[in-house]
Structure 1
Amino acid sequence: MMAIDPSAVIHESAYVDEPCEIGPRTRIWHFCHVLPGTRIGADCILGQNVMAGPDVVIGDGCKVQNNVALYRGVTLERDVFCGPSCVFTNVLTPRAHVERKSEFSPTHVGRGATIGANATIVCGHTLGEYCMVAAGAVVTKDVPPYALVAGVPARQIGWVSRAGERLGADLICPRTGERYELVGGRLRPIEDDTP
């Protein structure tokens, strides 16, 4: 049984397998394939040639650019951006001649995170909320919330705000003025306590 909201737009060249869920105003473009058990939230965009599933979760407001494959075990919380041709893996030691589905490792991507074009996310790791993975980076370990990581393997090179701006030493977002603080080596926004 499928649960596709009537306001969703699915291009005629896309394949959507049963059962799956597709939320309101979501757009699925040319040559996409949504496999069974996949849940896609509201207001998402799946660009050309995206494959999602089986059993993938894509939260509200996510944007998955062209040529991205989201395999079983991948969860995107709301407002995640996956750049063109970024790569998710699902097993650490694959072999063509050995079935290893029982060894699939989950990958969890936190709310508001950005993954740059051609970045690779090795399975079994968590990308924290609002983190930013630079284009071409290879993530081989967990990424803290708000961290900016780059390189092969990816290493933290700074912090970013919820707006995606790199933070300077003052930890103030240059776009929004939002202030942050480091507590125990982790960045967090300073909540405005004005009435």
Structure 2
Amino acid sequence: MSYYMHPTAQIGEHSKVGYHAAISERVKIGDHCQIGHNVVIHPGVQIGDHVRIDDNTVVGKLPMKAARSATTREGSLPPAIIGDYVLIGASTVIYTGCRIDRYVLVADLASVREETVIGEYTIVGRGVTVENRCHIGKRCKLETEVYITALSVIEDDVFIAPAVVTTNDNYLGRTQERFKRFKGVTIKQGARIGANAIILPGKVIAEDAVVAAGAVVTKDVPARTIVAGIPARYFRRVPDEELLENQENIWLNCEKI
């Protein structure tokens, strides 16, 4: 055997494991999975069927709490759960306490922190960071180098373009008051965020709203509204043909592929 597997771990039928992988105690890997070279799977991780995990990736990593960590919680966390047909790229880190639902793609060099849920058919692009205690809905696209701050909620069918930054601390690390007021962003169903936009703590981007590229959002954005600029201001209404309700169903039934 060219990899390490704890005696209590289980691997399903027709699954393959690469060289120098490490599969810890109580791990369960489903059928028809591909585990790459040097992959580390920490204790208790549950992996569904038809999952691909590429080289040098870590699944179920324990968080580290520094003496000055602000949003990292201490205490035990449940194992990570990876659903059926999930694809995880190379050199990606999935923390313990995560749930990644079926047909999700987490690309190379991404990081998904503890106590985070990612809904089915969502794409988490190359180099994306999703911090702890976030909820990402179904059919979302988080493109290259997006940063989702801790305590954020991203609803279904949200599009976030490359290099978007979200924030959760209006006090910029100063005063004890900040510990009471950490608040991530909320991006509601069908909203779209342009490249390099910045969203300040606690702001709500409502349904089908659009934030233009490079905008700095300092106030809540109403539904079906486009905002642009620094600070972001009203630009115009979202055209009817771009509303989520007027889009054709483009999602493939992956179970039939």
TM-score if structure 2 supplies the norm length?
A: 0.61
Verify the 8 A CA contact 2:167 2:184 in the aligned structure 1: no
Pairing 1:54–2:96 present: no
1:68 positional shift: 1.1
- Which of 203, 212, 224 aligns to 1:134? It is 212
User: Larger RCO: Structure 1 or Structure 2 (Cα < 8 Å, ≥ 6 residues apart)?
Assistant: 1
Superposition RMSD on alpha carbons, in Å?
2.0
Q: How many residues align?
A: 167
Q: Secondary structure at the match of 1:158?
A: strand
Q: What SS does the aligned partner of 2:170 have?
A: coil
Q: Which of the two has higher C-alpha Rg?
A: 2
Cross-structure match for 2:232: 154
Aligned residue for 1:145? Answer: 223
Pairwise CA distance, 1:4: 0.8
The equivalent position to 1:84 in structure 2, one of 158, 162, 176, is 162
Mapped contact 1:112–1:162 kept (Cα < 8 A): no
User: Counterpart in 1 of 2:108?
Assistant: 30
Q: 1:66-81, aligned counterparts within 5 Å?
A: 66-81=144-159
Identify unmatched segments of 5+ residues in structure 2.
1-78, 248-257
Q: Which moved more, 1:40-49 or 1:156-165?
A: 156-165
* CA–CA distance in structure 1, aligned partners of residues 102 and 172 of structure 2: 37
Q: Indicate conservation of the 8 Å contact 1:130/1:161, yes or no.
A: no
Note closer, same or farther for the CA distance 1:156–1:50 as it changes in structure 2 (3 Å cut): same
TM-score after normalising by structure 1: 0.80
Q: 1:107–1:123: 8 Å Cα contact kept in structure 2? A: yes
Q: Aligned residue for 1:192?
A: none
Deviation at 1:39? 0.2
Indicate whether 1:18 and 2:96 are aligned.
yes
Distance 1:125 1:58 in 2: 16
